[in-house]
Amino acid sequence: MRLTAEEEAIRAGRRGEPARRALEMQLAVGDFFGAERMVPVTSAHLTGDPESMGEAGLAFVEDLVRQGARFVVPATTNSCNVDFDLYRSLGQPEEVAEKERRLRALITAMGGTLLTSCANYQALGPPAFGESLAWGDTGAVIYANAVCGARSNFEGGPASYAAALTGRVPAYGMHLDACRRGTHLVQVRDQPRCVSDWGALGVFVGRQLTNYWLVPVFSGIEAAPDADALKHLGATLASYGSLAMFHIVGVTPEARTLDEAFGGRPPRETIAVEPGALERTYSSFVPEKPEVDVVVFGTPHLSIEEIRRLAALLDGATVNPRTMLLLTTSAPIKAMADREGRTRVIEAAGGRIAVGVCYYIMSPREMARRHGLRTIVTDSAKLANIIAAYGYNPIFRPTARCVEAAVAGRIPR
């Protein structure tokens, strides 16, 4: 890799041991992917919560802080493991909260911002077109690339910390024009009508394209999607397919035309989304029993619009006493929901809004044991995908059906 004078200085240890170590890791990753240079980034979104990091990851970050690590670009945190107001009543172990406190102190010491959101682009605002980023949450990365036209690879745990310490990343993958162009054409003939339908579309495509280096191009979309629809599509494609980029012709900024989306190359293959495909996608999540143990909204974090919609659906309703209803969002959005009275409506119905957390990193095994949870109903296809590894029976359904399930305590037919 060609390094600038500044990068050579970092490599020589003149910006301290943490930055030197970080750059060495970045060079190894860059070499693997054939990067020829580094590219400066404007921000990092840090992925690493104690649940994901484990004790070894925490010790790694503690070591960085002991050596005087300081972030050189704005660095925000991804979702965390506990909402300190709720974790006890939810049955999360005290030890998890303790680790969360430890990590927060470390990030603050390095100059990071405790945003604790996986939808940083809705909590703080989206990046600009062409901005180079070192973002870690896969759903945030694909949103930044596809919807905003910013540029980021999946900068996983240690990589997002490394980028925050050096202020740069290796230039490969989504930083290069060639990697951002479409590879597969998706002809949509089953129109998505709500945010979870966009998730279902993401499942349908993400199950077929399971490679970071593929880029679907959606055509045939009749109604332009809003930010929440794109959030669900992106997070689902990233989750099922490990994809970091997509285009929607006439909607996303690097796909004004089909030809632009593909960069003049022909698609390698075409995927047809025939009428009924979205319904069949929902039906592929098969309940083992009719009773619903827990209903969760908010992976990625809910926007204020989504909370308003849920509050309207729950207004005057009562959640079945044997069913847990949980919403997850960021602190800024929760504050807005409080101010608008939405929180009151949701709580009156028997739901709770947890701040800064995502369900799958909230000690889901311990919660399942404590509350006897097995069947989880959600309008988040991403959550439905992840939570199966934690011993749950995930049922992905449209938002309104999920609310019905919470109220009835049973999965509606």
Partner 1 sequence: MTAPLVLTGHPGVGEVVEGEALVSAEGFSARYDLDRSTGTIARESHPLYGRSIAGKVLVCPLAKGGFATSWALLDLKSRRLAPVAMLFGWANPVMVQGAVLAGVALMDRLSPDPVAVIRTGDRVRVDPRAARVEVWPMAVPTTTNAR
In this complex, which beta carbon is closest to partner 1, that of residue 29 or of residue 403? 29
Both tokens of 329, joined, read: 């969002």
In this complex, which beta carbon is closest to partner 1, that of residue 301 or of residue 410? 301
How many Cα atoms occupy the beta-carbon half-sphere of 306 within 13 Å? 32
Tell me the closest approach of the beta carbon of residue 27 to partner 1, in angstroms.
9
CA triple 241-147-301, angle to 5 deg: 70
Tell me the closest approach of the beta carbon of residue 153 to partner 1, in angstroms.
5
- The span from the CA of 289 to the CA of 380, in Å, is 20
The secondary element (H helix, E strand) that includes residue 51 is helix 50-66
- The span from the CA of 202 to the CA of 189, in Å, is 14
In this complex, which beta carbon is closest to partner 1, that of residue 175 or of residue 247? 175
- DSSP three-state, residue 288: coil
In this complex, which beta carbon is closest to partner 1, that of residue 139 or of residue 182? 139
Q: Backbone dihedral region of 341: left (phi > 0), alpha (psi from -120 to 50 degrees) or beta?
A: left
In this complex, which beta carbon is closest to partner 1, that of residue 180 or of residue 342? 180
In this complex, which beta carbon is closest to partner 1, that of residue 317 or of residue 390? 390
Tell me the closest approach of the beta carbon of residue 177 to partner 1, in angstroms.
18
Tell me the closest approach of the beta carbon of residue 380 to partner 1, in angstroms.
14
Both tokens of 103, joined, read: 């990590």
Tell me the closest approach of the beta carbon of residue 32 to partner 1, in angstroms.
5
In this complex, which beta carbon is closest to partner 1, that of residue 55 or of residue 222? 55
Residues contributing to the site for partner 1 (CB under 8 A): 25, 28-29, 31-34, 47-48, 52-57, 60, 136-138, 153-160, 173, 210-213, 238-239, 242, 360, 385-386, 388-391
Tell me the closest approach of the beta carbon of residue 204 to partner 1, in angstroms.
17
Tell me the closest approach of the beta carbon of residue 57 to partner 1, in angstroms.
4
What is the DSSP annotation of 102-159? HHHHHHHHTT-B----S-HHHHT-PPPTT-B-EE--HHHHHHIIIII--B-----HHH
Q: Backbone dihedral region of 316: left (phi > 0), alpha (psi from -120 to 50 degrees) or beta?
A: left
The secondary element (H helix, E strand) that includes residue 364 is helix 364-371
